[in-house]
Chains A and B, each alone.
Chain A
Amino acid sequence: MTKSELVQRLAERNPHLYMRDVEKIVDTVFEEITRALAEGNRVELRGFGAFSVKEREARTGRNPRTGDTVEVEAKRLPFFKTGKALRERLNDEE
């Protein structure tokens, strides 16, 4: 399912809403999560999961093809941990 399919499915279930509003809702949800993470915050959606940011220190890496050493800068990486309810649903509905 892509974002536009998500918008479509939600619009079908909410026929009283304009498609462009459904689109705005979906965009706002992901924009807010992105903004929160960019500000260094954690996003916790009980039952679904939690998004967080992990810091990676600068390190000396190697180009696996040539063996040359390269300096890898410090960076932040987004992480997602599946919520308990969703993790259980993934495993008991067969």
Chain B
Amino acid sequence: MSNQTITRADLAEAVYQEVGLSRNESADLVEAVLEEISDTLVKGENVKISSFGSFSVRQKGERIGRNPKTGVEVPITPRKVLVFRASHVLKSRINEEE
């Protein structure tokens, strides 16, 4: 088990190695993938990536919260939250014996 943080640059490098586009274009396309997913979710449409997982937008109603420091009750406004559900394939890959 290592403990590294993978970023856009690592994804772009993998695309560069795999597809044979320039490094710049590989980076642009990684960005385009993330943007297309984000734009779709912002429009309220769910995104389902087979063997990886699904992203869905959930609407949360208003509820009463509390400032943990002062104990004062404050209303939490209704909001949308993004929920990721990992697919079985992803879950089992993560639990494979090394």
Extra contacts besides A6-B47, A37-B94, A75-B95 (5): CB < 8 Å: A6-B40, A36-B6, A38-B96, A43-B6, A91-B79
Measured as residues with beta carbon below 8 angstroms from the partner, the interface class of chain B is: 35 or more
B19→A21 contact, CB < 8 A? yes
Cα of A43 to Cα of B9 in the assembled complex, Å: 11
Q: Are A41 and B93 CB-contacts (below 8 A) given A1-B48, A28-B18, A86-B82?
A: no
The interface bits of chain B over 26-40 (1 if a CB of A lies within 8 angstroms of the residue's CB, else 0) are 100110111011101
- The total of chain A residues at the interface (CB under 8 A) is 49
**In the assembled complex, A68 has its CB within 8 A of some CB on chain B:** no
Across the A-B interface, give the 6 residue pairs with the lowest CB-CB distance, nearest first.
A80-B84, A40-B1, A36-B6, A78-B86, A82-B82, A43-B6
- Over the window 84-98 of chain B, the binary record of Cβ atoms lying under 8 Å from chain A Cβ atoms (1 yes, 0 no) is 101000110111100
Say which residue of B5, B48, B95, B96 sits within 8 Å of A2 (CB atoms). Answer: B48
Give the residue name and chain of the A residue nearest to B45 (CB). A1
